[in-house]
Amino acid sequence: QGSQKRSSSTPETPRPKRASSSRSSFGLFSPGSFSPSVTPSQKYSSRGGRGEVVAAFGSVQGLAWSGRGGCALRTFGCPEQSLSKPYKFMFQKALDVREVLAERVEELGEVLRRHHGLDGFSSAVLPAQEPVTVLGQISCDGNGKLNPKSVLLVGDREHSGGAQVPLDLSELPEYSLFPGQVVALEGTNSTGRRMVVTKLYEVTP
């Protein structure tokens, strides 16, 4: 018998596909055979039940709330620190935000000093051969994730003038830090360029 000629398949004359057998195992166990028929989704503008309560917990129907007597409001603290006029949220000036953050660091520093019985804080950037205690916020030296090699301390405004100093955490047995955390550290800074931390004081609840 002569050899049969194999039909060539080209983009212009594609080879006809074989009809799949009705007894094929692929057809019997395909996802379409197990999935239920799904109706096509309606357009968002033509949806029904807008504003309808789908589920509720407890009896909340027909309750009327009313107060008895008059109610007076009284603000605590200094009057100049209270809001006296509306303001746009997240439209504060950068200097005002910095001032609030600096005051917050000072408040938490006082809490740390009293809680741990610390004598006081020193500058984080001045060279010190003896162990000193400094106050500041944890920061990162770049835009990446915080790791043991990229931890910085932004010193407080009163003692360090907001200066930054890299931290060496190899002497600590364990620690857990995050950017923006207010901490008090004890360590040595012999060159004024890097502080070797030996003790970490955190704000505890």
Query: How far apart (Å, rounded) are the C-alpha atoms in residues 159 and 134?
Result: 8
Query: How far apart (Å, rounded) are the C-alpha atoms in residues 182 and 10?
Result: 71
Residues 6+ apart with CB under 8 A from 158: 106, 121
Phi and psi (nearest 5°) for 27?
-70, -35
Q: Which domains occur in the chain, in start order?
A: 116-201 (2.40.50.140)
Q: Which of 3-17, 54-68, 99-113, 187-201 has the lowest mean pLDDT?
A: 3-17
How would residue 87 be classed by pLDDT, with cut points 50, 70 and 90? Answer: confident
Output the pLDDT for position 188. Answer: 92
The answer to whether 140 and 146 are in contact (CB under 8 A) is: yes
Q: Quick one: DSSP state of residue 79?
A: G
Query: pLDDT tens digit string along 30-39?
Result: 665 655 555 5
Q: Which residue has the higher pLDDT, 184 or 13?
A: 184
The answer to whether 185 and 112 are in contact (CB under 8 A) is: no
Residue 177 tokens, joined:
């830090």
Output the pLDDT for position 108. Answer: 92
Please give the C-alpha separations between residue 130 and each of 138, 187, 192, 196, in angstroms, as whole numbers: 22, 8, 12, 11
For all residues of the chain together, what is the average pLDDT?
78
How would residue 198 be classed by pLDDT, with cut points 50, 70 and 90? Answer: very high
The length of the chain in residues reads 205
Query: pLDDT tens digit string along 34-71?
Result: 555 555 566 766 777 777 777 776 665 665 666 677 77
Distance of CA 167 to the CA centre of its chain: 23
Output the pLDDT for position 65. Answer: 64
Give the DSSP H/E element, type plus range, for residue 136: strand 128-140
Query: How far apart (Å, rounded) are the C-alpha atoms in residues 115 and 107?
Result: 12
Q: Which of 1-15, 95-109, 181-195 has the lowest mean pLDDT?
A: 1-15
Query: How far apart (Å, rounded) are the C-alpha atoms in residues 37 and 98?
Result: 59
How would residue 93 be classed by pLDDT, with cut points 50, 70 and 90? Answer: confident
Query: pLDDT tens digit string along 98-149?
Result: 888 899 999 999 999 999 999 889 998 889 889 999 999 999 987 778 888 8
Output the pLDDT for position 52. Answer: 77
Output the pLDDT for position 141. Answer: 85
